[in-house]
Chains A and B, each alone.
Chain A
Amino acid sequence: KAGVTQTPRYLIKTRGQQVTLSCSPISGHRSVSWYQQTPGQGLQFLFEYFSETQRNKGNFPGRFSGRQFSNSRSEMNVSTLELGDSALYLCASSLLPGINQPQHFGDGTRLSIL
């Protein structure tokens, strides 16, 4: 059974650009969450999607956005990139949304801003 797939694995961008990251959940999983991981802050919740609807959003500026498609695949977009956006972006999927649902993580997209 294929795991959560995130593409691309690595990205290098410059300040002011925008970027789109992709996440394909485990087959049959309908809930997708996104996290930002940095050495200083650890994993910080970005947002959660279920049935193409954003159910929950973390404390990130509006430059961070996302969406989910009918096949449960999800994308997140960051506009007007800043140096501080350099991080590992992780996507996690679960069968359903819910507080006790096991989260299955992808290996992340490493984003570096120059």
Chain B
Amino acid sequence: TQLLEQSPQFLSIQEGENLTVYCNSSSVFSSLQWYRQEPGEGPVLLVTVVTGGEVKKLKRLTFQFGDARKDSSLHITAAQTGDTGLYLCAGAREGGSTLGRLYFGRGTQLTVWP
């Protein structure tokens, strides 16, 4: 059972369009991280959000952590071909046997066409 559900699984859009990727769970997370992975490479950390309701911007990318810390979204404005990749969300839960462990969503494969 996947603790974090990402949607959509696949996204194919034209350059210049806007898009939103969602990461949802019924569990509460102490923090949520977003990664981007390109073929043949490991995931690269984009951002970490830790406070409910937090919004972080990274150029054309906007990340939001839900008020209840159960969900997050990634919004890309005016997508470019260089945004193509697999976007992964990963959550960390507090304490106990899960300390230090990240739970990943299955990812959203984004393809941006010229």
Contacts and interface: CB of A to CB of B under 8 A. Distances in A.
Given A48-B100, A97-B99, A103 B33 contact: yes
A105 B42 contact: yes
Contacts of B105: 42
Interface residues of B, number: 29
A31 B100 CA distance: 10
A99 interface: yes
B78 interface: no
Interface string A99-113: 111111111100000
B112 interface: no
A51 to B, nearest CB: 13
Interface in B80-111: 88, 90, 92-94, 97-107
**4 A-B pairs with least C-beta separation:** A105-B42, A99-B92, A42-B106, A43-B104
Interface of B: 2, 30-31, 33, 35, 40-45, 48, 50, 88, 90, 92-94, 97-107
10 contacts: A33-B100, A43-B102, A98-B99, A100-B30, A100-B48, A103-B45, A105-B42, A107-B40, A107-B41, A107-B42
